[in-house]
Amino acid sequence: MPYYMYIEKVLFPVTPGKISIKIENKNKTITLIDEGEVNLIKTPGLTDIQISELILPAIQKYPFANYLNDKFRNPEYYLNKLETWKKRKKPVQFKLSRTTPDGKNLLWDTNFDVTIEDYEIIEDAEKYGLDVCVKLNMKEYRVWGAKKLVIKKKKNSSKATATTKKVRSSKDTPKSYIVKKGDTLMKIAKKQLNDSSKWKSIYTLNKKTIQAEAKKREKPDNGHWIFPETKLKLPSGQVATGQMKEYGTAVGQLMDYGTEIGQGKQYS
């Protein structure tokens, strides 16, 4: 049964008489209380390929040897290939094919990417004559990837910059705020004061204004409502004045006399 061994589409003339292909095990055995030993099944490790004798004919073309396009090549050609594959730090394709005795039909083949781990060149005149023998060890290669950190640069600038979020300081805090559609006291406190819990201070400061505007719209005057275009003063600001439109925003659950104003529903 003819065998053909290729590495990176290079056909080696004499197929090794013995090739060891070992699939590494990564399973673990652990002992559980009252259960004894159990297996933890994990993804298999990388496959190791070991070739103890890879003969490279030196001066003669053996009848059992195979040459691509029937062209004889000396050992130096194959040794240079091994050196190149080892130095370039990239995987190579390993293929071992088995055919019918007449060589016409493929029975099965081993075909996957490997890395050249190490090899040993042996010259033994008593055993190999003028031929060269190579001991070759390879390991299965699995494709993997890592995320790259990309640093963006400003246009027309060679310096990389980082984007930071500006936090409003107490000096930048405005004295008043005009209510917009969709606002709640918590949203206003978060946006203008950097602290949503300060909605209570805004409510206390504007309690009469909020209640008066709600009463004009025939809504409960318990502070549950705020309306777009209403001008509210913020802590350390000046007294607000009220201006309304035909829609309002519910602030949420009121915390006045023991209840809490949360994030309210919107009404139009």
Per-run averaged pLDDT (10 residues), the chain, 268 residues: 86 91 87 85 90 91 86 93 93 89 77 94 92 95 77 65 52 79 86 86 88 84 77 68 36 39 42
CB contact at 8 A, 115 and 87: no
* Among candidate residues 17, 41, 16, the one with its CA nearest the CA of residue 28: 41
Taking residue 56's Cβ as centre, other Cβ atoms within 10 Å add up to 22
Confidence (pLDDT) at 166: 52
Q: Model's pTM, two decimal places?
A: 0.50
CB contact at 8 A, 203 and 219: no
**3-state class percentages of the chain: helix first, strand second, coil last, to nearest 5:** 20, 30, 50
